[in-house]
Structure 1
Amino acid sequence: MGSFAKRGPMSKLSPAELEQYVFSRTGDANENLLVGPREAEDAAAIETGAGTLVVSTDPVSLAVERIGRIGVAVASNDVAASGGVPEYVVSTVLLPEMDEDVLDTITRQLHATCKRLGLTIVGGHTESVAGLERPLLSLTCLGYTDRFVSTTTATPDDRVLLTKGAGIEATAVLASDFQEQIDADEATFERALSFFDELSVMAEAAVCTPVATAMHDPTEGGVLGGLVEIARASDVDLVLDGEPVPVRPTTREFCAAMDVDPLRVLGSGALLTTVPADEAAGTLDALEEEGIAATDIGHVGAVSGNAPAVVQNGQRRTEMVQDGMYALWE
Structure 2
Amino acid sequence: MPGKVSPDDLLAHVFERTGAADSDETVLQGPADGEDAAAIDWPDGDGTLVVSSDPISLAASQVGRLGVPVATNDVAVSGADPRWLTAVVLLPTGTDERALEKIATDIDAAATALGASIVGGHSEYVDQLERPLLSLTAMGTTERFVPTGGAEPGDRVILTKAAGIEGTAILAADFGGDLEVDSDVCERAEGFLEEISVAPEARIVRKYATAMHDPTEGGVAAGLLEVARASDVRLAVDRDAVPIREETAALCEAAGVDPLRIFGSGALVATVPDDALEDCLAALSDAGLEATAIGTVGDLDGDEPELALGDESLTGPIEDDLYPLWEAADADD
Q: One fold, TM greater than 0.5?
A: yes
Residues 186-235 of structure 1 show CA distances to partners (whole Å, capped at 9, x for unaligned) of: 32111000000000000010001011000001001111101111111111
Q: Give, as a single letter, the amino acid of the residue that structure 2 aligns with 1:12.
A: K
Q: Give, as a single letter, the amino acid of the residue that structure 1 aligns with 2:25.
A: E
2:138 paired residue number: 141
Q: Give, as a single letter, the amino acid of the residue that structure 2 aligns with 1:192.
A: A
Residue number among 93, 96, 116 corresponding to 2:92 in the alignment: 96
Are the equivalent residues in 1 in contact too, given 2:215–2:263 (CA < 8 A)?
Answer: yes
2:2 paired residue number: 10
2:233 paired residue number: 236
Residue number among 61, 68, 73 corresponding to 1:65 in the alignment: 61
1:325 paired residue number: 322
Residues 264-318 of structure 1 show CA distances to partners (whole Å, capped at 9, x for unaligned) of: 1100000000000011111111111111110000110111123211113343211
Q: How does 1:1-330 map to 2 (within 5 A)?
A: 10-29=2-21, 30-48=24-42, 49=44, 50-97=46-93, 98-241=95-238, 244-330=241-327
Structure 1 spans left out of the alignment, 5+ residues: 1-8
> May I ask how many residue pairs the two structures share in their alignment?
322
CA distance in 2, matches of 1:188, 1:244: 23
Deviation of the 1:185 alpha carbon: 2.6
Deviation of the 1:244 alpha carbon: 1.3
Are the equivalent residues in 2 in contact too, given 1:93–1:138 (CA < 8 A)?
Answer: yes
- Per mean C-alpha deviation after superposition, the further-off stretch among 305-314 and 162-171 is 305-314
Q: Give, as a single letter, the amino acid of the residue that structure 1 aligns with 2:9.
A: E
Residues 136-158 of structure 1 show CA distances to partners (whole Å, capped at 9, x for unaligned) of: 00000000010000111101110
CA distance in 2, matches of 1:244, 1:32: 41
Are the equivalent residues in 2 in contact too, given 1:81–1:217 (CA < 8 A)?
Answer: yes
Structure 2 spans left out of the alignment, 5+ residues: 328-333
Are the equivalent residues in 2 in contact too, given 1:72–1:113 (CA < 8 A)?
Answer: yes
Deviation of the 1:319 alpha carbon: 1.3
Are the equivalent residues in 1 in contact too, given 2:56–2:63 (CA < 8 A)?
Answer: yes
1:4 paired residue number: none
Higher helix share: 2
Are the equivalent residues in 2 in contact too, given 1:212–1:274 (CA < 8 A)?
Answer: yes
Decide whether aligned partners of structure 1 residues 303 and 181 sit closer, same or farther in structure 2, where only a CA change above 3 A counts: same
SS in 2 for 1:92: strand
Q: Give, as a single letter, the amino acid of the residue that structure 2 aligns with 1:93.
A: V
Q: Give, as a single letter, the amino acid of the residue that structure 1 aligns with 2:262.
A: V
- RMSD of aligned C-alpha atoms? 1.3
Q: Give, as a single letter, the amino acid of the residue that structure 1 aligns with 2:29.
A: V
- Per mean C-alpha deviation after superposition, the further-off stretch among 21-30 and 260-269 is 21-30
Q: Give, as a single letter, the amino acid of the residue that structure 2 aligns with 1:41.
A: E
SS in 1 for 2:139: strand
Q: Give, as a single letter, the amino acid of the residue that structure 2 aligns with 1:54.
A: V
SS in 2 for 1:26: coil
Q: Give, as a single letter, the amino acid of the residue that structure 1 aligns with 2:79.
A: G
Residues 74-111 of structure 1 show CA distances to partners (whole Å, capped at 9, x for unaligned) of: 10000001111100000010000242110011001001
Residues 236-271 of structure 1 show CA distances to partners (whole Å, capped at 9, x for unaligned) of: 111114861111010011111111100011000000
Are the equivalent residues in 1 in contact too, given 2:239–2:310 (CA < 8 A)?
Answer: no
Deviation of the 1:117 alpha carbon: 1.0
CA distance in 2, matches of 1:51, 1:230: 24
SS in 1 for 2:90: strand
Q: Give, as a single letter, the amino acid of the residue that structure 1 aligns with 2:199.
A: M
SS in 2 for 1:23: coil
CA distance in 1, matches of 2:54, 2:97: 24
CA distance in 1, matches of 2:280, 2:79: 15
Report the TM-score when normalising by structure 2: 0.94
Q: Give, as a single letter, the amino acid of the residue that structure 2 aligns with 1:133.
A: E
Report the TM-score when normalising by structure 1: 0.95
CA distance in 2, matches of 1:67, 1:10: 18
CA distance in 2, matches of 1:86, 1:52: 12
- Per mean C-alpha deviation after superposition, the further-off stretch among 304-313 and 50-59 is 304-313
CA distance in 2, matches of 1:150, 1:166: 21
